[in-house]
Amino acid sequence: MSEQAGAPVPSAGERVAGATSTASVKRAIERSAEIEEQIDIDPSQFRMLTGDRPTGRLHLGHYFGTLKNRVELQNRGVDTWVLVADYQVITDRDVVGPLKERVLGLVTDYLACGIDPEKTTIFAHSGVPALNQLMIPFLALVTEAELHRNPTVKAESEATGGRALSGLLLTYPVHQAADILFCKANIVPVGQDQLPHLELARQIASRFDRRFGRAEPDRPVFRRPDALLSQAPLLLGTDGDKMSKSKGNTIELGFTADETAKVLKKAKTDSDRVITYDPATRPEVSNLLLLASLASGEDPIAIADRIGDGGGGMLKAVVTEAINESLAPIRVRRAELEKDPAYLESVLAAGTAKANEEADQTLQEVREAMQMIY
């Protein structure tokens, strides 16, 4: 949509802050649809960056929310890069905990769910120094006000009652931009709430080009990444609240079939014996139906109709069976991988070595553009 003559042009900071506006989300949805079509035609033109913080074990929310989609994009031929964001663990916590165990646990879950290290690059933040060095020029391209407006930073500041933020947390959006830009990723799977992060990465790429120039005249150093909006449904925890590791209301990918059944047996439902799929008025029941649907591929309304007046007990039995059948091959693969930590370490080492090659090349281009080759 063109702007009216005389209308004020929004500043870069306002564009970042407004990245979740209705118009911006609409544009992101339209662009995501275009990208999906282009992937089917020529996936080789895309490089995807995604990842997780190793703060605990992955659960069904991660699996249905992101992991399955990563595997699908990988298998469609997209050059996939998965970041184990170990440095970001210390953005909001004083201690790192059993970090190596959690990092290897992430790699285990990735491989068990179908991530193929022959097709996908899995790497760790802390092992790629040149990536982190990009923070220095990038920080020169953003203002303090822009950082404070970032939704994640803003939410953390409000949650702490205005207590001073650590420098790492305040600059977290810039670190995330470095993650995306160092490897020249041009698509990033995100939810609508993460669009401001991606918009800041796009702004940094553009500002670098304008302020510092290029290593090669015919192309900018950094590509402006596009959002690939996630269509993943919002899953609730077994208590009807937001699914969260810290709340203990999740079904971890590492659970046994019996552990899964035990957790689901305690899942919250309601007093109505007739099972219906109605997320607005019956969120807990509908969430369990959605879990069964995602695991089995059957429509949630059809599952509800099949259960009928069987009540919450029958609903939980159906959900348990669907999830356990869906996770059975993942559990078998996971058990095999856990017996071979040396292999897991080798996968991470190989991916981190590849990431270093890319980061070193990017940093060299940055230094050339900034005329810092001496």
Equal fold, 12-234+341-369 vs 245-338: no
Place 99 in a pLDDT band, splitting at 50, 70 and 90: very high
- Please state, in angstroms and rounded to a whole number, the distance separating the CA atoms of residues 335 and 330: 9
Task: Give the tens place of pLDDT for each residue, 116-140.
Answer: 999 999 999 999 999 999 999 999 9
Helices (H), the chain: 12-17, 22-41, 60-62, 68-75, 99-113, 129-133, 135-139, 144-149, 151-159, 167-170, 172-182, 195-212, 257-265, 283-296, 300-307, 311-338, 341-369
The architecture (CATH level 2) of 245-338 comes to Orthogonal Bundle (1.10)
Query: What residue spans define the domains of the chain?
Result: 12-234+341-369, 245-338
- Please state, in angstroms and rounded to a whole number, the distance separating the CA atoms of residues 146 and 196: 10
**Do 287 and 235 contact (CB within 8 A), yes or no?**
yes
- Please state, in angstroms and rounded to a whole number, the distance separating the CA atoms of residues 225 and 184: 8
Q: How many CB atoms lie within 10 A of CB 347?
A: 21
Longest dimension (CA), the chain: 77
**Angle at CA of residue 236, ends 328 and 67, nearest 5°:** 45
Place 166 in a pLDDT band, splitting at 50, 70 and 90: confident
Query: For position 159, what pLDDT does the model report?
Result: 77
- DSSP code string of 169-233: HHTHHHHHHHHHHHTT--EEEE-GGGHHHHHHHHHHHHHHHHHH--SBTTB-SS---EEEE----
Query: For position 240, what pLDDT does the model report?
Result: 86
Please check the confidence at residue 7 and state whether its pLDDT lies above 60. no
- Please state, in angstroms and rounded to a whole number, the distance separating the CA atoms of residues 60 and 237: 10
Question: What is the homologous superfamily of the domain 12-234+341-369 according to CATH?
Answer: HUPs (3.40.50.620)
- Which residue(s) pair with 236 in the sheet? 242
242-267 average pLDDT score: 89
- Please state, in angstroms and rounded to a whole number, the distance separating the CA atoms of residues 82 and 64: 17
Place 352 in a pLDDT band, splitting at 50, 70 and 90: very high
Query: For position 8, what pLDDT does the model report?
Result: 40
Task: Give the tens place of pLDDT for each residue, 200-242.
Answer: 999 999 999 999 999 999 999 999 999 998 777 778 888 888 8
